[in-house]
Amino acid sequence: MLELSHVSVRRGQRKVVDGLSLCLSGPQFVAVLGENGAGKSTLLRAIAGDLPFSGDISLQGCSLRHWSAARLARMRAVMEQQFSPPAQMSVLEMVTLGRYGHDECDKEARLHAQKWLGYTHLSEYAHREVASLSGGEQQRVQLARCLAQLDGDSGGQKLLLLDEPTSALDLYHQHACLQLVRAFTEAGHLVIAVMHDVNLASLYADQILLLKNGKRIIQGPPQQVLQPDTLKSAYQINSHITPHPILTVPMVFSMPG
Residue 203 contacts residue 25 (beta carbons within 8 Å): no
**At its nearest, how many Å lie between other proteins and the CB of residue 69?**
5
In order of 84, 114, 124, 176, 247, the CA distances from 118 in angstroms are 23, 6, 9, 12, 28
Question: Site for other proteins (CB under 8 A): which residue of 92, 178, 209, 210?
Answer: 92
For the chain, the residue count is: 257
Sign for the CA dihedral angle at 31, 34, 39, 42 comes to positive
Backbone angles phi, psi at 191, to 5 degrees: -120, 130
Under the phi-then-psi rule, with left for phi > 0, alpha for psi from -120 to 50, and beta for the rest, what region is 200? alpha
Q: Which of the ranges 9-17, 94-102, 167-175, 224-232 carries the binding residues for other proteins, by CB under 8 A? A: 94-102
Among the listed residues 4, 46, 72, 192, the single contact to other proteins using CB under 8 A: 72
Judged by CB under 8 A, the residue of 5, 100, 132, 187 near other proteins is: 100
Contact residue for other proteins among 93, 215, 218, 221 (CB under 8 A): 93
Among 12, 52, 66, 70, binds other proteins (CB under 8 A): 70
User: Mask of contacts with other proteins, 16-55, x by CB under 8 A?
Assistant: --------------------------------x-x-----
Q: Does 98 bind other proteins (CB under 8 A)?
A: yes
DSSP alpha helices (H): ranges in the chain? 40-47, 69-73, 91-97, 106-119, 135-150, 171-186, 198-204, 222-225, 228-235
Binding mask 143-172 toward other proteins (x if CB under 8 A, else -) reads: ------x-----------------------
Q: In this chain, which stretch among 73-81, 132-140, 178-186, 214-222 interacts with other proteins, using CB under 8 A?
A: 73-81
Which residue, 130 or 208, is less far from other proteins as judged by CB?
A: 130
Dist. CA 66–CA 59, nearest whole Å = 10
Q: Indicate the angle between helix axes 171-186 and 135-150, nearest 10 degrees.
A: 10
Among residues 78, 178, 181, 205, which is the contact residue for other proteins, using CB under 8 A? Answer: 78
**All residues at 6 or more sequence positions from 199 whose CB lies less than 8 Å from its CB, including other chains:** 251, 252
Q: Which residues are at the interface with other proteins (CB under 8 A)?
A: 48, 50, 68-74, 76-78, 80, 83-84, 86-90, 92-94, 97-98, 100-101, 106, 110, 126-127, 149
